[in-house]
Amino acid sequence: MSKRLEGKRALITQCGAYMGPKSVEMFREEGAEVIAEPAVITSAEQAREIVAAAGEVDILIANFAADASSGTAVHQIDDSTWREKFAVMVDPLHWMVQAVTPQMTARKKGKIVVFGSATPLRGMRHVAAYSAARGAQVGYVRAVGAELAAHNINVNLIAQNFIESEDYYPKSVTETDRFQAYLRQNIPARRLGRAEEDVALAIFLAGDESDFFCGQIIPFAGGWAT
């Protein structure tokens, strides 16, 4: 039986953080040749160099993360914190898409999957900077997804929250009685999502079965956002 991503080459950004490690593991299990890029991307030139070094890219997994800790009122957000969210999650997304789409357009085939967040889909207090940057990703994917669909390039975003991740939900937090009570009261699924469940969705969006998904924002948060 052939594997779902056999013969595909997948470039995964920030491979050591957020959904990167599990994506590298599971994409390889599904037969993809994985180019695991560990760098934090800070310029368009760097993005172009990464894509050039990768060669032919069938799948771009745009995996970008930033601190989402709450507790800062909007009037207390300093300029550096505000800009940092966009610099880490929005700018590199645009640069990587810019760098990879010419070759995908030339081949009339490509998949771009963004690991985003459900926070723009439901109001949360004290995460204005983070939610704004994640919301910018949502708007970007909707626009670029509509633009590139005519070239047979599928761009979609997984709007996730409450997924197992040491970056966002370390065990020091999730194993407390207070957090478990929060899950039971606020998450219809009454648990955290597993990283492998999240990446399984990314694999579907990266494969040939999802060719009619264009510019979709797919909530993946156990019912917290629908």
Mean pLDDT in the chain? 95
In the structure encoding, which two tokens stand for residue 9, read together? Answer: 């080459």
Q: Is the pLDDT assigned to residue 2 strictly greater than 80?
A: no
pLDDT in tens, 17-75: 999 999 999 999 999 999 999 999 999 999 999 999 999 999 999 999 887 765 689 99
Q: Is the pLDDT assigned to residue 171 strictly greater than 70?
A: yes
Is the pTM higher than 0.85? The answer reads yes
Neighbour count for residue 176 (Cβ, 10 Å): 11
Predicted local distance difference test score (pLDDT) of residue 69:
64
Predicted local distance difference test score (pLDDT) of residue 167:
79
Predicted local distance difference test score (pLDDT) of residue 226:
83
Residue 8 near residue 154 (C-beta atoms within 8 A): no
pLDDT in tens, 94-139: 999 999 999 999 999 999 999 999 999 998 889 999 999 999 999 9
In the structure encoding, which two tokens stand for residue 128, read together? Answer: 């204005």
Q: Which of 14-23, 71-80, 198-207, 214-223 has the lowest mean pLDDT?
A: 71-80
How deeply is 44 buried, as exposed, middle or buried, from its count of CB atoms within 10 A (0-12, 13-18, 19+)? middle
Domain 9-220, CATH homologous superfamily name and number: NAD(P)-binding Rossmann-like Domain (3.40.50.720)
Give the whole-angstrom CA distance, residue 139 versus residue 130. 14
Q: Is the pLDDT assigned to residue 188 strictly greater than 70?
A: yes
Predicted local distance difference test score (pLDDT) of residue 165:
87
Q: Where are the beta strands (DSSP E) in the chain?
A: 9-12, 33-36, 59-63, 110-115, 153-160, 217-220
Show Cβ contacts of residue 167 under 8 Å, excluding neighbours closer than 6 positions: 17, 18, 65
- List the chain domain ranges: 9-220
